[in-house]
Amino acid sequence: MVTRRLEMIFQNAAGRRTTLAVLDPREDLLEADVRAAMETIIAKNIFTSPGGDLVAIAGARIVVRQTNDVITM
């Protein structure tokens, strides 16, 4: 089984990184789409973290994971 996850990485007010993950992102996702979503999250202060508000974009990535069962019941 192959799974995909979009990880949006933000810098918080304390200067540390915080990651928000979205399972099964669209296949045709563009950098501009992700950047716009992240900028909206920051501007509207939608999420906070233990280190305070999210204040800047630190990066984003799509993680693809393949799992192969060896034994199934």
Domain coverage including residue 45: 2-66
Query: Which residues, 6 or more positions from 13, have their beta carbon under 8 angstroms from its beta carbon?
Result: 51, 52, 53, 55
Asked whether residue 71 is assigned to any structural domain, the reply reads no
pLDDT digits (tens, 9 = 90+) for 10-33: 999 999 999 999 999 999 999 999
Count of domains in the chain?
Answer: 1
Kindly report the pTM of this predicted structure: 0.90
Asked whether residue 9 is assigned to any structural domain, the reply reads yes
Asked whether residue 73 is assigned to any structural domain, the reply reads no
Asked whether residue 47 is assigned to any structural domain, the reply reads yes
The token pair at 33 is 């789409």
Asked whether residue 72 is assigned to any structural domain, the reply reads no
Nearest Cα to Cα of residue 19 among 3, 35, 33, 38 = 38
pLDDT digits (tens, 9 = 90+) for 30-49: 999 999 999 999 999 999 99
